[in-house]
Structure 1
Amino acid sequence: MEAIKILKIDRLDISAISHLVESSQNEGFRHMARLVNEYRMGINTFSQEGEVLFVVVYQEEYIGICGLNREVSVNEGIGRIRRLYVKPEYRNKGIGKELIKAVIKEGKPYFKRLVLKTDNEKAYAFYKTLGFNETDGMENQSHYIDL
């Protein structure tokens, strides 16, 4: 596999990720469509201090995405990993791991803890392998990692 590039972007090109949205919907996921809708409406543009949006580019095509937001529902110092998605044919090649590593690195100066929410069994196992801990009884969090 040729080298992939993980790029931090300042503006989301919605047309460039339309195939990711379609692919995720075909798998029964809604989070990519939410990403686009929230971005269009200005609800979440990953533009607050400490927030970031990464894309993975392979052969001029976006094949993955992941973002980091401030967690506004709790105390300062908490970031939320959002909208991780890698196209199915590129999974199990370390791309998701590299995206999460990039998010963690970017978040360290701003946050003491990163949280996320998933109800997908494969994602549960994935985050555990990266050192995330499971939360107990938290409605909007399934995993966390202290930075």
Structure 2
Amino acid sequence: MEARNGPNRIERPGKILALATIDDEIAGIGGITRDFVDSGWLRMRRFYARPAYRRRGVGRRIALCVLEHAKPFNRQIALYADGTQAGAFWPTLGFEPMRRQTTHVFRGHT
């Protein structure tokens, strides 16, 4: 398991894996790790809301939880959004579009 034994172990500083449940059912998941392109940044990773829970605020609540966790680290946060819906979602949280291996960046809390 990569999250437990590999280079992306969750117990490293700055990392978090958030799990959302509704009525004891997994609704979504998302986390943050050190960025693989620039080690001075953090990267939103493994972000997923189950289809039955999309457009119900699950993804937003997970993202806000993860961003709150990242605040004390005061680093830029990158992510790769795959698809039109994901590409439209992240700017609603303050992420700016980019290109290459990263599609959006959060420049920090103001």
The one-letter code sitting in structure 2 at the alignment partner of 1:145 is: F
Q: Tell me which residue corresponds to 1:28.
A: none
In the superposition, the TM-score normalised over structure 1's length comes to 0.67
**3-state SS of the aligned residue for 2:18?**
strand
Residue 125 (structure 1) aligned to one of 77, 88, 96? 88
Judged with a 3 Å threshold, the aligned counterparts in structure 2 of structure 1 residues 93 and 109 are, in CA distance, closer, same or farther, namely same
Q: Tell me which residue corresponds to 2:68.
A: 105
Are residue 143 (structure 1) and residue 107 (structure 2) matched? no
State whether residues 79 and 111 of structure 1, in contact with CA within 8 Å, keep that contact through their aligned partners in structure 2: no
User: Map of 1:1-147 to 2, 5 A cutoff?
Assistant: 37-39=1-3, 42-76=6-40, 78-135=41-98, 137=99, 139-147=100-108
Post-superposition offset of 1:81: 0.2
Query: Quick one: distance in 1 between partners of 2:96 and 2:3?
Result: 29
Deviations 1:25-56 (A, max 9, x none): xxxxxxxxxxxx52365232222101100000
Query: Quick one: distance in 1 between partners of 2:82 and 2:48?
Result: 14
Which structure 1 segments of 5+ residues have no match?
A: 1-36
Deviations 1:97-143 (A, max 9, x none): 111111111001113211101231110001122221001x4x22100
**3-state SS of the aligned residue for 1:46?**
coil
State whether residues 27 and 58 of structure 2, in contact with CA within 8 Å, keep that contact through their aligned partners in structure 1: no
Query: Quick one: distance in 2 between partners of 1:123 and 1:40?
Result: 27
Aligned-residue CA RMSD (Å): 1.6
Aligned length: 108
**3-state SS of the aligned residue for 2:12?**
coil
Judged with a 3 Å threshold, the aligned counterparts in structure 2 of structure 1 residues 75 and 42 are, in CA distance, closer, same or farther, namely closer
Deviations 1:51-81 (A, max 9, x none): 10000011112211001001243152x1100
Judged with a 3 Å threshold, the aligned counterparts in structure 2 of structure 1 residues 66 and 124 are, in CA distance, closer, same or farther, namely same
State whether residues 67 and 103 of structure 1, in contact with CA within 8 Å, keep that contact through their aligned partners in structure 2: yes
- Higher-Rg structure is 1
Which structure 2 segments of 5+ residues have no match?
A: none
